Amino acid sequence: MTPNPTLAELDTPALLLERGKVKANAVRLRSHIESLGSKLRLHVKTAKSLEVTRLVLGDSPAPITVSTLKEAEEFAQHGYRDILYGVAFAPAKLARALALAKGGVSLTLVLDSVESAAALVAAFKPGDPPMRVLVEIDCDGHRAGLKPGDPRIVEIARVLAASRAPVAGVMTHAGDSYNCRSIEAIRAVAGRERDAVVTAARQLRDAGFDASIVSVGSTPTATYADDLTGVTEVRAGVFVFFDLVMAGIDVCKVEDIALSVLSTVIGHQREQGWILTDAGWMAMSRDRGTAKQPVDQGYGLVCDEEGRPIEGLIVVDASQEHGIIGHRSGDAARLPDIPVGTRLRVLPNHACATAAQYESYRVLDGTPRVEAAWPRFSGC
């Protein structure tokens, strides 16, 4: 294969990334957050790529959020020093966390229980490098965290007060924003997200504890928040690529989606109304995040080789290696004649899950020729 192959020369399935769309998505969200007086702390779990992160944040390492210590370790090797590990911390992982701190990383951990706080204190040894802790707040009943006003928020701070990892503030994730069906509903969730952490931060301060970090985060609320008073940082990641779930709740347009899977037509079942490709769920992931939305996109929205959606076509089903394309109406007569060997692109339901199936991005920049291959990593 040539160093910069055309799409017609790529082995498929392949993960395509449009550089210009990533840059535009990043500029738009960062500008919005900064206009509200806060700052972006990019969540790198979506891209898991140094090159993508540099495209979004620039060459100078900026604060980031990670969801695995593997991500923290990878980015620490490239000079990123302000890292929030945004998942409730398990004390058994302390050795790896300490190794990062000893290497100069300012590492912030997340907890939401008194038991975890006590276990963390017990795991530290004299002379271990310091870290910080954020108490996770539940702003919508979506997942983890404590409700604002819960006395355990202050109790956690008391347990950690004299430890190597004192409380430095609060964080939350408005996961319920993914279930919204209007921009107004997302704005309302964003308001509740802000109010939850601002209230919890005040609770800590009133008890005499530090709450200098007030952190919120989800791509929908980051996009449509209209008041971030009291919020010091916003965590978001999927906005870098966007996907069909985000398009389905009007957080982006389909043409903003920067990620797609290049596939090849390998056969037909005309009586069934099917076009078969070489991109099954191993290429797309099993995520069916649009199934509960008003428009179900199956396993992905089908586009031509240039990335233009083909009217009515979605991946209606998938086995491990086969993608089954059909017309969303189910009418076999409406299926276009697409010959074997044709290259098609499929937009994903969930960018994080689809990207996780690949070792690299094939980067496009306005032409059908691949300009670079950017590696991505995996692991915990």
Walk along the chain (380 residues) and give the pLDDT tens digit of each residue: 577 899 999 999 999 999 999 999 999 999 999 999 999 999 999 999 999 999 999 999 999 999 999 999 999 999 999 999 999 999 999 999 999 999 999 999 999 999 999 999 999 999 999 999 999 999 998 889 999 999 999 999 999 999 999 999 999 999 999 999 999 999 999 999 999 999 999 999 999 999 999 999 999 999 999 999 999 999 999 999 999 999 999 999 999 999 999 999 999 999 999 999 999 999 999 999 999 999 999 999 999 999 999 999 999 999 999 999 999 999 999 999 999 999 999 999 999 999 999 999 999 999 889 999 999 999 99
Look at the chain and report how many structural domains it folds into.
Answer: 2
**Strands 301-303 and 343-347, bridge-based pairing:** antiparallel
* Residue 25 resides in a domain: no
Report the DSSP beta bridge partners of residue 64: 42, 83
Do both 139 and 281 map to the same domain? Answer: no
Do both 189 and 262 map to the same domain? Answer: no
* Residue 29 resides in a domain: no
The CATH code of the domain that includes 55 is 3.20.20.10
Angstrom distance (rounded) from CA 117 to CA 111: 7
- Which of 240, 275, 292 terminates a domain? The answer is 240
Host H or E run for residue 301: strand 301-303
pLDDT tens for each residue of 277-335? 999 999 999 999 999 999 999 999 999 999 999 999 999 999 999 999 999 999 999 99
Do both 363 and 277 map to the same domain? Answer: yes
- Which of 240, 273, 291 terminates a domain? The answer is 240
Burial code (b: 16+ CB inside 10 Å, e: under 16) for 311-343 equals eebbbbebeeebbbbbbbeeeeeebeebeeeeb
Amino acid at 272: Q
* Residue 162 resides in a domain: yes
Do both 231 and 347 map to the same domain? Answer: no
Do both 322 and 225 map to the same domain? Answer: no
Nearest alpha-carbon partner for 114 in 174, 69, 161: 161
Do both 200 and 262 map to the same domain? Answer: no
Do both 110 and 165 map to the same domain? Answer: yes
* Residue 222 resides in a domain: yes
* Residue 252 resides in a domain: no
Do both 161 and 228 map to the same domain? Answer: yes
Do both 221 and 303 map to the same domain? Answer: no
* Residue 281 resides in a domain: yes
**63 three-class SS:** coil
Q: How would DSSP label each residue in 306-359?
A: TSPEEEEEEEEEE-SS-EEEEETT--GGG-----TT-EEEEE-S-HHHHHTT-S
47 phi and psi angles, rounded to 5 deg: -85, -40
Residues 6+ apart with CB under 8 A from 211: 167, 168, 169, 170, 200, 201, 202, 204, 205
Count of C-beta atoms within a 10 Å radius of residue 219: 30
* Residue 30 resides in a domain: no
- Which of 212, 240, 268 terminates a domain? The answer is 240
Nearest alpha-carbon partner for 175 in 267, 245, 113: 245
CB 116 within 8 A of CB 91: yes
pLDDT tens for each residue of 213-234? 999 999 999 999 999 999 999 9
Token pair 């985060």 is at which residue? Answer: 217
Given this model, what pLDDT does residue 234 score? 98
Do both 99 and 201 map to the same domain? Answer: yes
Instruction: Take residue 110 and report the two structure tokens written for it.
Output: 């997340």
CA atoms within 13 A on the CB side of 330: 1
Given this model, what pLDDT does residue 1 score? 56
Do both 139 and 175 map to the same domain? Answer: yes
* Residue 250 resides in a domain: no
The CATH code of the domain that includes 346 is 2.40.37.20
Do both 270 and 332 map to the same domain? Answer: yes
Q: Which residues form the domain of 79?
A: 36-240
